[in-house]
Structure 1
Amino acid sequence: MAEEQAQQSRTVTIDGSEYKLADLSDNARQQLVNLRAADAEIQRLERQLAMARTARQAYARVLQGELSSE
């Protein structure tokens, strides 16, 4: 019972307006799931991009060292 009440009182804020999850349509809840999945994928890709940029900087430093020693 307590879990059911907690589920009904959960809210989400969208564009500054607060909505009870229980009041959203099935489609709206699915779109919220999709939005959260897209946000998680963006975060994952941003971390991957940061690693690639760091590697690129290291490769550029090594290349500069090679070119200056010739």
Structure 2
Amino acid sequence: MDEVEEVTVDGVSYRVSELSAEAREQVNNLKFVETEMAALNSRLAVYTTARNAYEQALRAALPRSIQ
């Protein structure tokens, strides 16, 4: 059974196949941007983890102060 692709805007669901060509193009644009944002969020998570590791390594490499 084929799944019917729908998009919900302002609480109203629409079948993508029944939208105008312009509206379908905007749906595709939104999908593209959402995919890119997810990829960027994944990269940000990696960079944040790396930054935390570098900060921890820096703390370990600093001289200990005597108080």
User: TM-score if structure 2 supplies the norm length?
Assistant: 0.82
Q: How has the CA–CA distance of structure 1 residues 43 and 30 changed in structure 2, closer, same or farther, with 3 Å as cutoff?
A: same
Greater helix fraction, Structure 1 or Structure 2: 1
Compared CA separation, residues 44 and 61, structure 1 to 2 (3 A): same
Alignment of 1:1-70 (within 5 A): 6=2, 9-69=4-64
Distance between the aligned counterparts of 1:38 and 1:57, measured in 2? 28
Q: Distance in 2 between matches of 1:29 and 1:66?
A: 55
> Residue 47 of structure 1 aligns to which amino acid in structure 2?
S
TM-score scaled by length of structure 1: 0.79
Identity of aligned residues (%): 35
Q: Distance in 2 between matches of 1:51 and 1:15?
A: 34
